[in-house]
Structure 1
Amino acid sequence: MHHDNAFEPIIVADIGGTNARFALVTAFDKSAMKFKIEQAQTYPSADFSSLESALSQYVEFVSFYAPKYACLAVAGPIKGESVRLTNLGWNFVVSDVKQEFGFEQLSIINDFAAFAYAAPYLDKTENLSIKSGYFSDNENIAVIGPGTGFGAAALVKNNQHQTVLSCEAGHITLAAVTQLQFELLAQLKKQYDHVSVETVFSGIGLTRLYQAMAKIEQVEVDELNPSQITQRALDGHCEICLKTLEQFCSWLGSVAGDLALTFGARGGVFIGGGILPRIQHILLDSQFSQNFVKKGIMTNFVQDIPVTLVVQDNIPLIGAAACIANR
């Protein structure tokens, strides 16, 4: 993108299974590291038969600006030029869409790549520090998120260049560190051939962890979904539920520390939502930080890395803006 004084407007979008959120980025304030995001519109994804039809409605809405740039963040994997949003039945080829709308530039990125691009622009005051530390400029940043699945990506920096590394870190093998974790893992292994990070650190993973915990404690296992487990723990109505959430947070510390080492993330680790914002105090009281730094001879490497729980909600839009504006 041309870095002259006139900022070219960029269409940004966050396209999920339920909603397609569109907005226009019209300016960037370098001193505050903030994009100006306006003209936001939310469309129910199910109302449209294709990405093109939703995009076309928005392009018409902002026709006054005649935007030539667009970056869309989508929930799902992207293979080269062709994008399939399976739960919506939307398939498209990036170059075709670019041509159809006459964009000079069109990027399609997945939601975790968007999170990684957004990381340097997140508002420190709006989000929650889980582990204090020092944000090293020009060092890699890792983003992770225990949500529907477990996502991870890294913003990789090299001199003045940066790029986003997408990966499948959610499917690495989950490691046990404490005696309780070894026992939990043994329970999970009875049911799952490969216990990955995502097996435990995802919405449905919380239920699996609860069931394993109840078996170890030899308590009757209730049929509970993740939000019921969370609610019972917060209400103080169920000791096993509380233990499950404490373990979820503490064990996540080890995983986050592993990924900080893997990505060399001295620029910080950012964790995206899922259930964590609902259980902030359990997370803060847990062994998260202690486990994050328990890395033997590499303890000094992770010691100073800050970890932030991100609760602001426009991350994919900020990431989409950063993806194009930084080119």
Structure 2
Amino acid sequence: MVEHSRQALVGAFGARYVSLAIADIDELSVSNFALLSTADFEQPMQAVERYLASVPRCPNKVSLALAGTVEGDAATFTYRNWKLSRNDVRAATRADHVCLINDVEASALVLPNLSAYDLHELHAGTPVPYGNKAVLMSGAAVGIAGLVRADKDWVPVVGEGGFLRFVPTDDDLAELGDGFLAEPYIACDDVFTGAGLAALYQALASKAKVKGKSSGAKQIAAFGLSGEDPLATRALQIMATWLGRVAGDIALLYGARGGLYMGGGLIANIIPALQTGHFREAFESRGDRSAYVARLPVKVIKTAADAGLRGAAIAMARSLPSHALAPRPTARAAY
């Protein structure tokens, strides 16, 4: 049997879901895709073991992107009481090469390799070749990272951006009421998620003293975009404004002249709401730096781009002794 030495088992462990696939680490294409729920497993490698039962073989390379902290040969998950080591991965997969990487770092790594097919353009801007890039991932949790050029490599810069403080304005509180996320410290993680959209919608309903027609983030997004529920439409307008505020701050922080990229389930599902002007106005409202921000490209990463998985594949390629940056993708994901 021919050993497909440039294939790897790749995974992306988020706050609620696990994506797993087989990747070509040169072309950055993925196949045998599977989506699992983290709630179904007591330990992360149980998800990998279930996946491996569905594929003919496991490549000798495994790269996992995870929502958590990677230190040396071990990782600690942020949203699950899980720990993972490279030896755990080797024991379950018999892989010769194992790579662990933070999930937002993986999403940042893939930015230069995304094609027009992978992206939805919100604003073309004027990109600067090799200019800094920034990414805001918003789904079940929030992740923020920058990507800077160093010599011939792209270097991700990742922190704990999901825990940045979010401060509603007086006008926000006047419309929503004091009960909206009434906590001493409101983090971006509390706001820019499905749960945050649901809390925003419920606050609007409570302030209007009506019973909401929608339940759950997916229905709120669907009814808001269709106009079927005016409260849901207003919730999306506010969310777009807030995303614009935070995205503009991130773009300034990283000097994202190469582009500001946004992704994750929440953002990908409300793209029409981000095109209404609420996002753009808030994004560009930067005082003396408004003209600077107006030149920055803004793009949304489509969910089918598999950013986390392909970023994990790039991380694997970089970890090998024959490290060479992956080329721009020439093949698309196969499901």
Residue 37 of structure 1 is matched in structure 2 by 30
Partner SS state of residue 125, structure 1: helix
In structure 2, relative to structure 1, the CA distance for the partners of 1:197 and 1:91 (3 Å cut) is closer
The offset of 1:188, in angstroms, is 4.9
CA distance in 2 between counterparts of 1:49 and 1:212 reads 35
- Report Cα offsets for 1:42-88 as digits up to 9, x if no partner: 6776777654565567498336xx63x432112x2124133345877
Residue 11 of structure 2 is matched in structure 1 by 13
2:7 maps to a residue whose letter is: P
In structure 2, relative to structure 1, the CA distance for the partners of 1:196 and 1:82 (3 Å cut) is same
> What does residue range 1-327 of structure 1 map to in structure 2 within 5 Å?
8-16=6-14, 17-25=16-24, 27-28=26-27, 35-38=28-31, 40=33, 50-52=43-45, 55=48, 58=52, 61-62=56-57, 67=60, 69-74=61-66, 76-80=67-71, 81-85=73-77, 90-95=82-87, 97-98=89-90, 103=95, 105-176=97-168, 180-181=171-172, 183-184=174-175, 187-188=178-179, 191-216=182-207, 218-222=208-212, 224-313=215-304, 314-326=306-318, 327=323
In structure 2, relative to structure 1, the CA distance for the partners of 1:123 and 1:7 (3 Å cut) is farther
- Report Cα offsets for 1:241-293 as digits up to 9, x if no partner: 21111111122111100011112221111111323333322221132112211
In structure 2, relative to structure 1, the CA distance for the partners of 1:149 and 1:18 (3 Å cut) is closer
Query: Does the aligned pair in 2 maintain the 1:83–1:91 contact within 8 Å?
Result: yes
Query: Does the aligned pair in 2 maintain the 1:114–1:319 contact within 8 Å?
Result: yes
Query: Does the aligned pair in 1 maintain the 2:23–2:310 contact within 8 Å?
Result: no
The offset of 1:141, in angstroms, is 1.4
2:9 maps to a residue whose letter is: I
Query: Does the aligned pair in 2 maintain the 1:39–1:62 contact within 8 Å?
Result: no
The offset of 1:122, in angstroms, is 1.5
Q: Percent identity?
A: 25
Partner SS state of residue 285, structure 1: coil
Query: Does the aligned pair in 2 maintain the 1:21–1:41 contact within 8 Å?
Result: yes
CA distance in 1 between counterparts of 2:181 and 2:29 reads 51
Question: Whose relative contact order is higher, 1 or 2, with alpha carbons under 8 Å and at least 6 apart?
Answer: 2
Gaps of 5+ in 1: 1-5, 29-34
Residue 3 of structure 1 is matched in structure 2 by none
- Report Cα offsets for 1:174-193 as digits up to 9, x if no partner: 2446x633535762567221
Partner SS state of residue 191, structure 1: coil
Gaps of 5+ in 2: 324-335
